[in-house]
Structure 1
Amino acid sequence: MLPLRRRIVLPLAMLLSLFVLLLLKSDNTTPGFWKQLGKQDAGSSRPYSKPVITDPTVLNDDSYFWRKRPTRHPVASLRSFPTGKPLALPKVQASFPKENASDKQLRLQRQKAVETAFMRCWTSYSKHAWLQDELTPLSGGARNPFGGWAATLVDSLDTLHIMGLHGEFERAAAAAANISFETSSLEQVNVFETTIRYLGGFLAAYDLSGDPRLLKKAREAGDMLYAAFDTPNRMPVTRWDFGKAAAGGPQEAADWALVAEIGSLCVEFTRLSLATGDARWFDASERITDALRAQQGRTQLPGLWPISVNPRDGVFTADNTFSLGAMADSVFEYLPKMAALAGGLLPHYRAMYEDAMATAIRHNFWRPMVPDEADILISSSVHTARDGATGAFTPSVERVGQHLVCFAGGMLALGGRLFRKPEHMEYAKKLVDGCVWTYRAVPSGMMPETFAMAPCPPPSSSATDDRACPWDEAAWKRAVLREAGAGEDADADDFASRADAVIRERRLPRGFTAIPDARYILRPEAIESVFVLYRTTGDRALLDTAWDMFSAIQRHTETAYANAALADVTGATPPQTDSMESFWMGETLKYFYLMFSEPNLVSLDEWVFNTEAHPLRRLVP
């Protein structure tokens, strides 16, 4: 039997050895090696092997322009990321049953339609705006609102890789490798926008591909951004004088900043420190987290931070407006995402998230009165005012919704699964339903930037169902008049006819009392939360929801070159504007594509998305 056994085993062993040798010779740090892994491997549950970086300048290059800048306020002692094995956190993604042949065919058809839309935009960008920040989709020109560092190209790197467009990815990665951060088209650089687009984009593309050129660019962007922290208290200059910093001039943090811009750097900075082994960036962002954490319970609405803060004096409690929406959004979004990214080794992020959501659920979420009496939620801003008699702060909610705050449903879905809080999943579903309802209620099929609605009346003591919210046509019309400035005249006998005139003039769908900003600027937040809710619940009805959203957006925004923002979605033919922000290809189309992908492609159990939809590797056991 031995000869027969040798005849089978030895050739197999020789073939295996030859295969391993070929892999070793191929140098697995090159893009070609990672390209061969295939489309699904880009973000599947395949075990991740970090490529070996042999070039020291990838991780540390003291001759680099921003490293040579003299440091005026050095850090005496850097805080390092905790040592120890990542924890086995609860599973985020739902268990998906095997789909039948017809469902798979439909899903793949929809996925291909998204890919086709992306490639139209990418081809036009490549032809008309290559290495510029943005393509202008009506005129076929270009503009540079983000420093002139090819924002659309960098934002699209990981989308190209996820879609399996490896030839285009290789071309884009080669171009990205030559971007220089030594000069800028802007005098003032927004540190937050630069972090989420460029640093996040390079890190995600590196994590997906293993291409060391992209880690080097991430480190170079990180070195530049780190210079904004060279202030007396190590708080960053969020609206940064690029030229002054490049010349080595003195810097000081401003006495006013948006909380989102100062508090939303931790995901990218932490991932960069983990990828390079350099603690500087983790230390920098954790100093901000320390300040947020210490003052979270001392604001005028304890649990939430206000939308503006004072980084110069380290005071994050003075403002009286609190929101999960614009100007504050990602500081809350990053709390559960940091817990996931860090593999549970930074438990304070979970505590901060739970405190923040307890307050938001109590004060910021409310149910609007709508014609079909749907049980949905809207998240709005809250303002506080001091009571003259008691000195206590009294909150009041502003009944205005935003497209941007639609991310909150996905945040609560992630937190609900990650921290085993089923009540957060319920709030997530109702918030997502609110955004979907708003899309469907507008004739064009797209939600406006901002809108106002009337709240459900408080339940009476005799009500048998406190979830009931009957539609009241007269109450809605009175609310329309109040929003239009009619004031007390809303109660006059002719209120209905006057309200009808306002409704016709402003094209208000039933349920909306005002639409202050009727634009749609190709935003991703609604499809982002639909995607996260789908991955966390497995609810297949959300696939049709996403397709309806994509179809409406594509129908109205498509141009001869790409896709354009819309000036007013309330009309039958929304007018287009000559704008296509980089997040259209970096976020919106990516989420639509992943919606119709296999659930293991960029699994939420292995990846966490930054606020620009760039997937970064989570630490897992």
Structure 2
Amino acid sequence: MGLRLWEKYLLLGALAILGIMGVSFVVMNDYEPKAINGESESAKLSRDIVARKAFIDHEIGFNSSLYGNADISKRDHVKDMMKFAWDGYKKYAWGANELRPISKMGHSASIFGSGKTGASIIDAIDTLYIMGLKNEYNDAKRFIETELNMKSIRGDLSVFETNIRFVGGLLSIHALTGEIVFLQKAQEIADLLLPAFDTPTGIPLALVNVKTGKANNWAWASGGCSILSEFGSLELEFNYLSNLTHNSTYSNKIAKIRETISQIPKPDGLYSNYLNPRTGKWCSKHVSIGALGDSFYEYLLKQYLISGKKDLDAKKLYDDAIEAIENHLLYKSAKNNLWYFAELKGARVEHKMDHLACFISGLFALQSSNEPTQERKDHFLELAIKIADTCHESYARTETQIGPESFRFTQDAEAISLRETEKYYILRPEVVEGWFYLWRVTKDEKYRDWCWNFVQAMDKYCKVEAGYSGIRNVYRINGDYDDVQQSFLLAETFKYLYLIFSDDAVLPFDQWVFNTEAHPLPVAKNV
């Protein structure tokens, strides 16, 4: 049912006033579907009006200069980058997981089995919506409505990657628009992951075969163990899904994981990156806030925040884990006093930091703005700033001004890669993610400047004819591309860059929490 002409003008006028007053963007916390498999006419009308209002909000706010501290020209440049990358994907790889922008063909990583699953579409749709790219959003929505069918794929699904990209992406765009189809698809995909949780401890396995329902762990993982970052990065999405559907199946799975990790002894307070899902015992001792560990810590803090700060158990687990990490793995380099988190392998400290680990500066910035005492606010803000500075150095010390996959610290070298296998860049977001959070918290212009320098470097060294490609060696200007446009470029890197040049009223931190794939989910109301 459409709006009458006078109603449209009234709505436009009211929204224009709200936009001028700086009203926050698309707050969908009030939306709760009455039924997942259908809706009444009144519910449908309400949903349609909300979606219509959201698009009008884009025209009033996102695409104008009404928001006070937005940098419009830089924000719109990032929007153009997103559209360019999307257009290349649509033209040459539609329905494939990712684009090969040099070969101009689809690329399908093994983490999503074999089939037309369109990871780039699901990862990108909330970014398209936030940027006001309406036609592109509608194309993505049509694919999800008519073509997305994860039940038909062959091979194994990564539980972690499917959750953060597909379930998280669909829940996020549902939260932003109220469109019921996105919730339906999210639940359908989450259901496919449930066999992974059938273990004695409730710690899920890494892979699920959709056709057989059989689950297993990665063959390369230590002793067939589950990975900390993977089983620790499910609760934002699964708890939210239970809240929306009034089905506790998903939150019960998370509760069992929480129970297990709470009871396991933790030597020196540290979490190993590997846990045996059958015995509940740690496997080989490897502790890192980078690969294999990172988002476990992220989700503990964010679960506390998304609960409206009611999940005090999550905050306690987080505080204890971070205290142990600080005590055992925080170092400062000898020459330039660069702060960094090392890794622990057995009894050996490896003075290496991953690009992935740079997310922690953003997490500490977010934490600092939510701590109860000034002492703790100052402490974690200092940590955030120092780690962000180090990650910036890893960028500044390369020929391309883009940071490597990992960088090391020795007596002779600081914040640079020393191994050929660590010198690549695959369009990752974690460094700019940290700068984005610090911009929101500190308003220090250097974080916008650093992001703009990165935008220019991407355009110079990663942009190719049909999209953006990773590069194999950030220390050489030679055009040696990996020919993959990762889906997280569309979900994360461009979203964080767009948001740092937007006003804070766009997805404010007190109303939204970003999952580890940068898909925003609404904070629970305090009643």
> TM-score with structure 2 length normalisation?
0.84
Give secondary structure in 1 for the equivalent of 2:150: coil
Is 1:332 the equivalent of 2:297?
yes
The change in CA–CA distance for 1:232 and 1:547 in structure 2 (over 3 A counts) is same
Gap runs ≥5 in structure 2? 40-64, 219-223
Amino acid at match of 1:278: N
- Paired residues in the alignment total 480
Give secondary structure in 2 for the equivalent of 1:429: helix
Which residue matches 2:313?
348
Give secondary structure in 2 for the equivalent of 1:292: helix
- For residues 363-512 of structure 1, the aligned pairs below 5 Å read 363-370=328-335, 373=336, 375-385=337-347, 396-420=348-372, 421-422=376-377, 423-454=379-410, 475-476=411-412, 512=416
Which residue matches 1:92?
none
Is 1:122 the equivalent of 2:86?
yes
Gap runs ≥5 in structure 1? 1-15, 24-34, 60-100, 386-395, 455-474, 481-509
Conservation of the 8 A alpha-carbon contact between 1:269 and 1:285: yes
Amino acid at match of 1:264: S
The change in CA–CA distance for 1:20 and 1:54 in structure 2 (over 3 A counts) is farther
Residue deviations 1:203-252 (CA, integer Å, cap 9, x gap): 1111111111111111111221223324455432212233220xxx6x67
Is 1:285 the equivalent of 2:250?
no
Which residue matches 1:140?
104
Amino acid at match of 1:118: M
Conservation of the 8 A alpha-carbon contact between 2:491 and 2:518: yes
**Aligned residue among 431, 447, 467 for 1:562:** 467
Coordinate RMSD, CA, aligned: 3.0
- Post-superposition offset of 1:348: 0.6
- Post-superposition offset of 1:513: 7.0
The change in CA–CA distance for 1:41 and 1:49 in structure 2 (over 3 A counts) is farther
Inter-partner Cα distance in structure 1 for 2:182 and 2:507:
19
- Post-superposition offset of 1:299: 2.6
Give secondary structure in 1 for the equivalent of 2:157: strand
Conservation of the 8 A alpha-carbon contact between 1:237 and 1:253: yes
- For residues 163-242 of structure 1, the aligned pairs below 5 Å read 163-178=131-146, 179-185=148-154, 187-231=155-199, 233-242=201-210
Give secondary structure in 2 for the equivalent of 1:573: coil
Is 1:606 the equivalent of 2:488?
no
- Post-superposition offset of 1:314: 1.9
Conservation of the 8 A alpha-carbon contact between 2:394 and 2:416: no
- Post-superposition offset of 1:21: 13
Inter-partner Cα distance in structure 2 for 1:563 and 1:46:
30
Residue deviations 1:50-103 (CA, integer Å, cap 9, x gap): 4463554169xxxxxxxxxxxxxxxxxxxxxxxxxxxxxxxxxxxxxxxxx9x9
Amino acid at match of 1:215: L
Amino acid at match of 2:206: T
Inter-partner Cα distance in structure 2 for 1:183 and 1:38:
45
Inter-partner Cα distance in structure 2 for 1:41 and 1:308:
50
Is 1:244 the equivalent of 2:212?
yes
- Post-superposition offset of 1:523: 0.4
Conservation of the 8 A alpha-carbon contact between 1:58 and 1:213: no
The change in CA–CA distance for 1:42 and 1:123 in structure 2 (over 3 A counts) is farther
- For residues 77-156 of structure 1, the aligned pairs below 5 Å read 107-145=71-109, 146-147=112-113, 148=115, 149-156=117-124
Inter-partner Cα distance in structure 1 for 2:135 and 2:22:
14
Conservation of the 8 A alpha-carbon contact between 1:409 and 1:428: yes
Give secondary structure in 1 for the equivalent of 2:238: helix
Which residue matches 1:62?
none
Is 1:583 the equivalent of 2:461?
no
Percent sequence identity is 28
Give secondary structure in 2 for the equivalent of 1:313: coil
Is 1:522 the equivalent of 2:427?
yes
Amino acid at match of 2:102: L
Inter-partner Cα distance in structure 2 for 1:40 and 1:138:
44
Give secondary structure in 2 for the equivalent of 1:397: strand
Inter-partner Cα distance in structure 1 for 2:192 and 2:19:
33
Is 1:301 the equivalent of 2:268?
yes
Residue deviations 1:363-406 (CA, integer Å, cap 9, x gap): 22211234xx3x43112211343xxxxxxxxxx42111211100
Inter-partner Cα distance in structure 2 for 1:131 and 1:47:
30
The change in CA–CA distance for 1:608 and 1:132 in structure 2 (over 3 A counts) is same
Amino acid at match of 1:129: A
Which residue matches 1:537?
442
- Post-superposition offset of 1:49: 5.7
Residue deviations 1:349-372 (CA, integer Å, cap 9, x gap): 1101110111111122211234xx
Give secondary structure in 1 for the equivalent of 2:255: helix
Inter-partner Cα distance in structure 1 for 2:515 and 2:475:
31
Give secondary structure in 2 for the equivalent of 1:188: strand
Give secondary structure in 2 for the equivalent of 1:418: coil
- Post-superposition offset of 1:448: 0.7
The change in CA–CA distance for 1:450 and 1:104 in structure 2 (over 3 A counts) is same
Which residue matches 2:47?
none
- Give the number of the structure whose alpha-carbon radius of gyration is greater: 1
- Post-superposition offset of 1:512: 3.8
Inter-partner Cα distance in structure 1 for 2:132 and 2:432:
21
Q: Which segment drifts farther, 555-564 or 573-582? A: 573-582
Inter-partner Cα distance in structure 2 for 1:105 and 1:536:
14
Conservation of the 8 A alpha-carbon contact between 1:336 and 1:414: no
Conservation of the 8 A alpha-carbon contact between 2:201 and 2:260: no
Inter-partner Cα distance in structure 2 for 1:37 and 1:215:
31
Conservation of the 8 A alpha-carbon contact between 1:300 and 1:320: no
Residue deviations 1:404-456 (CA, integer Å, cap 9, x gap): 100011111112222232211111110111101111121210111112222xx
Conservation of the 8 A alpha-carbon contact between 2:29 and 2:523: no
Amino acid at match of 2:440: R
Give secondary structure in 2 for the equivalent of 1:555: helix
- Post-superposition offset of 1:288: 0.8
Conservation of the 8 A alpha-carbon contact between 1:42 and 1:162: no
Give secondary structure in 2 for the equivalent of 1:57: coil
Amino acid at match of 2:465: A
Which residue matches 1:359?
324
Amino acid at match of 1:57: N
Amino acid at match of 2:280: G
> TM-score with structure 1 length normalisation?
0.72
Conservation of the 8 A alpha-carbon contact between 2:33 and 2:244: no
Inter-partner Cα distance in structure 1 for 2:430 and 2:389:
13
Give secondary structure in 2 for the equivalent of 1:602: coil
Inter-partner Cα distance in structure 1 for 2:498 and 2:19:
13
Which residue matches 2:245?
276
- Post-superposition offset of 1:37: 12
- For residues 69-84 of structure 1, the aligned pairs below 5 Å read none
The change in CA–CA distance for 1:581 and 1:41 in structure 2 (over 3 A counts) is farther
Conservation of the 8 A alpha-carbon contact between 2:304 and 2:314: yes
The change in CA–CA distance for 1:162 and 1:424 in structure 2 (over 3 A counts) is same
